[in-house]
C-alpha cells in the first residue's frame, strides 16, 4: 500500500457533443434534388467526438450510493448501432458512460478515483454496467481525450474527466483512531460482532464494497471516502479485521467473536 496524499490535481471537463446519425447513404432522385438545394438551407454543424459516461446507482442486492442520471447527449460519432429510431449504444460508448457515471459517484462520496474504486463503484451499481471492462473503457477514454490520468506517487493513478478538476478526496491511508469518537468505534464493534454484520463483511468481494456495507448497515451518516479510511484503521490500527495480503478475500474479523 502506498501513502498517497490527498492533493487536488487539475483536470478538465469534456465538451458536449451531439450524436451523428447512423443512417446509410442513399442515392435517389429526391436525394439529388436535396443536394442541389442544400446550399440554401442550414448546414449541419454537429461535431463528432467520442465521450465516456459511467453509471452508478443502487440496484444490486444491497442499496448502494446513487448518482445522477446518464447524460445521453454524450455519444461519439460511430458509437451507435441498429436501425434509425432503435439505436443501441456500442460497447465503447456503454463503457465510457459507465466510467463517467462512476466518477460522479466517487466525487460525491469523496473517494479517490482509482481504477479499483471505479470497478467497485460499477460492480455495486446499475446492472447494465456491472460487467463493464473498466481497463478497456479507461484506455479508450484516454485515447479519445475524454479522461485524463494523473500519476500520484510512484504507482497510483487517478482518473478524472477532461477539463474537470480532481476533487478533494479523503486519503484512505491517513488519519488516526482518535480522529473518531468512542461512540463511533463502539457502534462499529457492535456491527462487526453481530451475525448480520459479520456475514455481510465476510462476503464483500473488495475493500470498496466492504466500505459500502458499513455505510448501509452501520455508518449511514458518513461519506464513503471517510468510511474507507475507517476501514483501513480497523485493519492497521485496531486490528479488528485481517485480510489476505494478496488482495481482500479471504478476510477475518477478530473482534466481537468474529470468525
Res 52: pLDDT: 44
pLDDT in tens, 100-109: 999 999 999 9
Q: How far does Cα 202 stand from its chain's mean position?
A: 23
Using CA atoms, how far apart are residues 151 and 77, in angstroms rounded to an integer? 30
Res 157: pLDDT: 93
Using CA atoms, how far apart are residues 152 and 158, in angstroms rounded to an integer? 7
| C-beta separation of 162 from 4 below 8 A | no
> Strand 88-89 to strand 147-152: parallel, antiparallel, or no bridges (unpaired)?
unpaired
Q: Mean pLDDT for each consecutive 10-residue tract of the chain (259 residues)?
A: 43 41 44 46 42 44 39 41 50 84 96 94 78 84 90 90 94 95 96 96 95 97 98 96 91 73
For the whole model, what pTM was predicted?
0.65
pLDDT in tens, 136-188: 888 888 998 899 999 988 889 999 999 999 999 999 999 999 999 999 999 99
**Strand ranges, E, within the chain:** 80-81, 88-89, 147-152, 156-161, 241-243, 251-253
Res 134: pLDDT: 83
Q: Which residues, including other chains, have CB under 8 Å from residue 150's CB and lie 6 or more apart?
A: 9, 11, 157, 158, 159, 160, 166
Res 214: pLDDT: 98
| C-beta separation of 82 from 88 below 8 A | yes
- Contacts by residues 147-151 (CB-CB < 8 Å, ≥ 24 positions apart): 147/52, 147/99, 148/11, 148/12, 150/9, 150/11
| C-beta separation of 247 from 254 below 8 A | no
Amino acid at each position: 500500500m502506498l501513502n498517497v496524499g490527498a492533493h487536488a490535481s487539475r483536470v478538465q471537463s469534456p465538451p458536449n457533443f451531439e450524436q451523428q446519425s447512423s443512417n446509410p447513404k442513399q442515392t435517389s432522385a429526391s436525394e439529388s434534388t436535396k443536394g442541389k438545394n442544400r446550399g440554401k438551407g442550414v448546414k449541419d454543424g454537429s461535431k463528432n467526438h467520442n465521450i465516456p459516461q459511467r453509471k452508478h446507482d443502487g440496484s444490486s442486492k444491497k442499496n448502494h450510493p446513487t448518482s445522477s442520471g446518464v447524460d445521453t447527449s454524450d455519444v461519439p460519432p460511430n458509437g451507435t448501432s441498429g436501425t434509425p429510431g432503435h439505436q443501441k449504444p456500442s460497447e465503447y460508448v456503454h463503457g465510457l458512460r459507465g466510467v463517467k457515471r462512476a466518477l460522479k459517484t466517487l466525487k460525491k462520496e469523496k473517494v479517490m478515483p482509482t481504477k479499483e474504486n471505479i470497478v467497485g463503484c460499477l460492480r455495486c451499481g446499475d446492472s447494465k454496467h456491472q460487467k463493464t471492462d473498466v481497463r478497456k473503457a479507461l484506455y479508450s477514454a484516454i485515447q479519445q481525450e475524454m479522461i485524463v490520468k494523473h500519476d500520484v506517487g510512484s504507482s497510483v493513478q487517478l482518473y478524472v474527466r477532461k477539463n474537470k478538476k480532481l476533487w478533494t478526496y479523503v486519503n484512505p491511508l491517513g488519519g488516526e483512531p482518535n480522529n473518531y469518537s468512542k461512540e463511533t468505534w463502539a457502534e462499529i464493534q457492535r456491527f462487526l460482532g453481530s451475525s448480520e454484520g459479520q456475514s455481510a463483511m465476510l462476503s464483500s468481494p473488495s475493500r470498496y464494497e466492504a466500505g459500502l456495507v458499513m455505510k448501509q448497515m452501520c455508518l449511514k451518516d458518513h461519506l464513503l471516502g471517510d468510511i474507507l479510511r475507517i476501514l483501513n484503521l480497523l485493519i492497521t490500527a485496531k486490528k479488528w479485521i485481517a485480510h489476505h495480503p494478496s488482495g481482500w478475500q479471504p478476510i477475518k474479523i477478530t473482534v466481537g467473536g468474529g470468525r
